Structure 1
């Protein structure tokens, strides 16, 4: 790769992977305040404030409405689309007292037990749709 155009083209190709959201610098910029909100939940007093009034607490952050709604809906896939990083979003899981396994299971549409069994067995099969551009 020789210049910015090439790296931008390369990074854009990562969006072609079905069911995957690669955390690029563009996503990091987009999700900065969403991820900062998540990190604030590391402090017990912030978790208490969030639980006491989720919308009011979210409104203290300069997040987009789509980011706030993703949090309120606990729609973690939407939060990823809005620039959330799964490791930061885990602070929400913890605040809700659910495991990473339970939360990620909701993102796949699988029961936590089924997701866990799939992962123990080696994860998703590499056979199948490898590109959004190619028919399955």
Structure 2
């Protein structure tokens, strides 16, 4: 049995260890004062959590696929998406390397109208 799903990065234990700073930072965004600090000076806020340069760049670019690849857990990085708000399907599309419409209609089985 394979633990791989084509075109889908999986969150595994080793990613959790690597992604701990990223996930801890993202979870901190549950607190209003942290969301305000993030919005006021995103780079300084990320520095407080010791993210790697690649993790920091992924967050600042809102590169959801890179965040997962760099150890981000979807349930934590969704906290980041609430800052801008971004629909979860847009994050799924980014992780799959697809346009949002192709993801919604192709992967989720929605029917195109029109």
* Alignment RMSD: 2.1
Taking structure 1 as the reference length, the TM-score comes to 0.71
Q: Larger C-alpha radius of gyration, 1 or 2? A: 1
Please report how far the alpha carbon of residue 34 of structure 1 lies from its aligned counterpart in structure 2 after TM superposition.
Answer: 0.5
Instruction: Name the residue aligned to 1:58.
Output: 46
Question: Which runs of 5 or more residues in structure 2 are unaligned?
Answer: none
Confirm whether residue 73 of structure 1 aligns to residue 73 of structure 2. no
d(CA) in 1 for partners of 2:8, 2:94: 15
What pairs up with 1:1-136 in 2 under 5 angstroms? 14=3, 17-121=5-109
Deviations 1:71-105 (A, max 9, x none): 11111111111111111111111111111112222
Consecutive unaligned residues of structure 1, counting only runs of 5 or more, are 1-9, 123-136
Q: What stretches of structure 1 move > 6 A for 4+ residues in a row? A: none
Across the two proteins, how many residue pairs are aligned to each other? Answer: 110
For CA contacts below 8 A with separation 6 or more, give which structure has more relative contact order. 2
